[in-house]
Structure 1
Amino acid sequence: MSSQDILKNATTLASYNVLIQVMFRVLTFLLNAFTLRFVSKELIGVVNVRLTLLYSTLVFLSREAFRRACLSGESGPNHSWRQVINLLWLTVPLGVIWAVLLGCVWLWFLEAPDPQTIPYYSPAVVLFALSGVQELLAEPLWVLAQAHMFVRLKVVAESLAMIAKCSVTVVLVVFTRQWGLYIFSAAHLVYTGFIVLCYSVYFIHFLGSDEAAKKNFPLHRVADLLPQRTEGKPLIDWSLARLTWSFFKQSFLKQILTEGERYVMTFLNVLSFGDQGVYDIVNNLGSMVARFIFLPIEESFYIFFAKVLKRGHDIKSQKQEEVAIAAEVLECLLKLVLVIGLIITVFGYAYSHLALDIYGGSLLSSGTGPSLLRCYSCYVLLLAVNGITECFVFAAMSQEEVDKYNLVMLALSVSFLLLSYMLTWWAGGVGFILANCLNMGLRILHSLRYIHHYFQFSQWKPLRGLLPSPLLLLVLAVSAGITAASEAVLCCDGGWLLRLVHIAVGGVCLLLVFGAVLLTETQLIQFVRTQLLPRYRKKHT
């Protein structure tokens, strides 16, 4: 497959992933707004912070390293898919081990919520751990689908799973509110069960079909999806296993950085369950764009960079055409996420209070919620840049460089936990966001240094993507001043008419920003139109 074909597939995957994440965030957004009217913020804090942390930790530590290794260039034509699948099935017993270990910690070492206000905590821990193990049953199928760009499968599976989860939650919250944590445990089991079911049904029908033969799919029978030994070959590819181990050490540290504030809240009790609930709701609101735009782009283009670039090789030892495409794509992606991040930062400051007031009423807008969301809008800019830079770095690093980077991640993890603890005592929930900003900035600096060194003696300078046009910066600065003044004068105690005027002011400023982007960022606009918009690309290919 040529680099152009890989780019086309990666951008298609990114587009569909964005659509999935948009739907997920919108449904979660509406679901949280609904449940806020029926359950306490303490219950939301336990579910969205403590139990979700158990699930995400279990799943991440069990599969992240396998995904990165098996989707990288190292699992290309020199590797047998039979051995790759055998390796991927190790995620299930590993998940069981993590479920037992983490379940014991969550049950016996953490402070249990008051059973009168938050009932059924112990069964909920078991059920959330079980849902994580259940999802791992689909891991070999997920990697197969990603490697062969079955983008519609992911869209359908995750869409149906999320719709089922939301439906179960709404019905149980309305009719069986007394079930407490059982409601959210059952909904999560339904979600992971639907994912496994959809992937299984698809591959049962796909294997052995004419479509599979036409695509030269490496597997032919349903039995090929199960672990088997191949005569004359080891059960697994040990070079790929070593790469997985390197990524595993890194993923453990990355999980601490990704979910660090939840670990501090869970293990150090710096915030009450109610404050944790408010923080999590604001965190979900602030991270909506990061999750449904930046994360899908990062996941999809990691596959692109990993397939186009030879891991651990310098530029001179690679095909210059493919390096040129990778450099151009990296520059455009950096410009894209930077522009989106700047827009979120500018408008997030002036509209945080109004957004929280509309979403959750005085429960969210009267306390520290607006300050949290304003800080988070600045953090989103760092998230955007870091996602793309690390996406490239992890695809280009050799195994030895990955091992060295693990030491950097260790230092960042320790510093982040210390900063989170100290800043939270000083500034409450805002301290978590400040600690995240500091650590994210250090990660970005490390990645920028690697990318600069990688392209240092070449004609390509992809880091120019971090330099927006002066006109765009000027329009953003003016918009920041106008919207901040509008909030001070019009929002948010003067009734809905003044609020609508405040929203209209922001709309006009946003249109001016879009106009500046269209006038000055022509290369970015062309990249978005031809690569990230499926309908347009189909007409011009």
Structure 2
Amino acid sequence: MSNAHRPRNDNLARASLLSASLATASSLVVLQLLSRLVTFVLNQALVRLAPPEVFGTASVQFDLLLATILFLSREGVRNALLRANEGQAGPSHSAGAQQRKSDQVSNIALLPVYLGFPLSILTSALYQLTSTRETRSQPHFALSVWLYALGAFLVLLAEPLHIRAVNELRMGVRVRAEGAGVVVNSIATFLVMLLGGAGWALVAFAVGKVVYGVTLCAVYLWEYRVPLSFPLIPPANLSRAVVRYFDKHLLRLSLAMSGQGVVKHFLTEGDSLILARISSLKDQGGYAVANNYGSLIARIVFLPLEETSRLFFSKTLSSPDPSSGAVQTPESLQSASDVLSTLLLLYSHLALFFLSLGPPLVPTLLAFLLPSRYLLTSAPLVLRAYCLYLPIMAFNGLLEAFFASTAEQADLTRQARTMLLFSLLFLLSALGFVRGMGWGEVGLVYANSVNLLLRAGYCYAYVRRYFSARGQPQLASLRAASPPWAVWATFAAAAAVVRASEANLPLEPTLKGRLVHLAVGAACGLVCLAVCTGTQRQAVGSVVSIVRKKKE
């Protein structure tokens, strides 16, 4: 192929990738919307069946156990294999070389299964040994812990096929697998709790996780029509078997990301770790309810965009092997910068909605959603604090997606050292907010906000270095991510109006008073949305144009 044809083909490839990324984003939004709606309905039923103590144990401590097993087993491998592109070798490589590359990548995808089994056992045993007497005294506690461990391992059994589906951009497979898992998880949890009563509440949550894992495996196996088998594929050259089982660069990257993930997991789940030690099970239940409501937007909107951007940046900017000589073109850098700036601009607008309208409306909304026994916990105050936490989490997730997609081993090593410093700062801020200022569970949310703000700042500094090192420092500018002055002024006025409406509510407002307050908030939100759309007409038009092209 001549050099004259390459820019055109590169542009077509980027357009195809962007189109596929948009399809990925829409599929993930559908998945998260389905998952969160089903979970929301389930939680509305469970908070009326399960006491706060049980809800706190399952949603804080057991979910932390599950997240620890899954994160440490698979996160590094997932992120590294997003950079795997078996066809990148090109026509100059033999079919045998390409097949060997494919086999080596497949072997790395099996590592979460091999890591997950011992990690599930060790983590579950350690959790039972270190849990408090109040927690261990609940009915069927040990059985529930081991069922959660089984559920985690079943999810890991499906991980190789999950990685295959993501790298093939077959998001429909993932949506069907995880969507079906969420539905059967919810049904199983509700039925066991309904039939068994409060004494079997912990087991109900655990059975739901096991059923979720079984369903996930079943759907992936059905979609790919493959047997459940996990032997490593032997290398063609047995004399170098130790070297050839895995792609060397991707394996090192997986190990580096997994090691870094230990610190990152502590920072991400630090609030749950501390909460399990300083709070009663009742307040843990209130925190869990607030977290479930607060994460609705995060999981429906932010998580799909974060995963999609990680996929797009990985395929656009990174090379699976630095020795291949692949470099980023100005067009690919510009494309990545455009996507990053557009998402940062979107997050800036969403942050204004959260900060201006969220805090004065949260208590009134919770009065309609929660039974009175949960309103007496820390849930209302925690959810108000989430209005600050969620925007920071969104910015951090996007910037960390860029970092994870482009960083090499040296970058990961530097970040890991910085993460250790952030861990210390998180502990100090948590101690100061929780103990020193007496903010309790709310202090943990603010400590997490400080932690995520530091991490986002570090990743943005990396973004600036990344583009500057490639001769394009202007592509890292934040100017394009800031809303115009008319948007800032509108949100400031809306914040003042809604807070004045809240101040006029009596201590025990009537139903009519609550509805009027919510109506004021809704009207202000619509005005803000109209101004945002009007001032960002060009950006909205470009997004609509891209979506239309994708459909065509």
* TM-score, structure 1 normalization: 0.91
- Spell out the pairing of 1:110-509 with structure 2 (5 A cutoff): 110-113=131-134, 118-177=138-197, 178-204=199-225, 227-232=232-237, 234-266=244-276, 269-310=277-318, 317-425=327-435, 426-456=438-468, 457-458=471-472, 459-490=474-505, 493-509=508-524
Greater Cα offset, 9-18 or 482-491: 482-491
Looking at structure 2, the residues matched to 83 and 154 of structure 1 have their Cα atoms a distance apart, in angstroms, of 23
Q: Deviations over 1:461-500 (max 9, x none)?
A: 4522431111111111111111111122247733222222
Looking at structure 2, the residues matched to 359 and 368 of structure 1 have their Cα atoms a distance apart, in angstroms, of 15
Looking at structure 1, the residues matched to 146 and 136 of structure 2 have their Cα atoms a distance apart, in angstroms, of 16
Looking at structure 1, the residues matched to 317 and 385 of structure 2 have their Cα atoms a distance apart, in angstroms, of 36
Indicate conservation of the 8 Å contact 1:386/1:440, yes or no: yes
- The letter of the residue matching 1:153 is V
- The letter of the residue matching 2:54 is L
Indicate conservation of the 8 Å contact 2:463/2:476, yes or no: no
- The letter of the residue matching 1:309 is L
| Structure 2 residues not aligned, in runs of 5+ | 1-11, 90-97
Q: How far off its partner does 1:525 sit?
A: 1.1
RMSD, aligned α-carbons: 2.3
Q: Deviations over 1:411-469 (max 9, x none)?
A: 21232133223422221001101101111111121122122233344253452243111
Q: Deviations over 1:49-72 (max 9, x none)?
A: 111111110011000000011112
Q: Deviations over 1:50-102 (max 9, x none)?
A: 11111110011000000011112577634722111111212112111211211
Aligned partner (choices 42, 49, 54) of residue 53 of structure 2: 42
Indicate conservation of the 8 Å contact 2:32/2:299, yes or no: yes
| CA gap 1:90/1:460 in 2 versus in 1, 3 angstroms | closer
Q: How far off its partner does 1:189 sit?
A: 0.3
Q: How far off its partner does 1:162 sit?
A: 0.7
Aligned partner (choices 95, 116, 133) of residue 116 of structure 2: 95
Indicate conservation of the 8 Å contact 2:433/2:446, yes or no: yes
Q: Which runs of 4+ in 1 moved over 6 A?
A: none
- Spell out the pairing of 1:6-25 with structure 2 (5 A cutoff): 6-25=17-36
- The letter of the residue matching 1:246 is A
Greater Cα offset, 489-498 or 448-457: 489-498
- The letter of the residue matching 2:447 is A
Q: Deviations over 1:305-328 (max 9, x none)?
A: 011113598xx9521111111111
| CA gap 1:441/1:482 in 2 versus in 1, 3 angstroms | same
| CA gap 1:20/1:523 in 2 versus in 1, 3 angstroms | same
Looking at structure 1, the residues matched to 352 and 133 of structure 2 have their Cα atoms a distance apart, in angstroms, of 41
Alignment of 1:55 onto 2:70: no
- The letter of the residue matching 2:234 is R
Indicate conservation of the 8 Å contact 1:298/1:391, yes or no: yes
Looking at structure 2, the residues matched to 382 and 63 of structure 1 have their Cα atoms a distance apart, in angstroms, of 25
Indicate conservation of the 8 Å contact 2:148/2:210, yes or no: yes
- Matched position secondary structure for 2:478: helix
- Matched position secondary structure for 2:143: helix
Looking at structure 2, the residues matched to 431 and 443 of structure 1 have their Cα atoms a distance apart, in angstroms, of 18
Indicate conservation of the 8 Å contact 1:13/1:300, yes or no: yes
Indicate conservation of the 8 Å contact 1:298/1:387, yes or no: yes
Aligned to 1:64: 75
- Matched position secondary structure for 1:87: helix
Aligned pairs, how many? 517
Aligned to 1:209: none
Indicate conservation of the 8 Å contact 1:10/1:304, yes or no: yes
Looking at structure 2, the residues matched to 23 and 423 of structure 1 have their Cα atoms a distance apart, in angstroms, of 36
Alignment of 1:514 onto 2:534: no
Aligned to 1:107: 128
Indicate conservation of the 8 Å contact 1:353/1:492, yes or no: no
Indicate conservation of the 8 Å contact 1:55/1:129, yes or no: yes
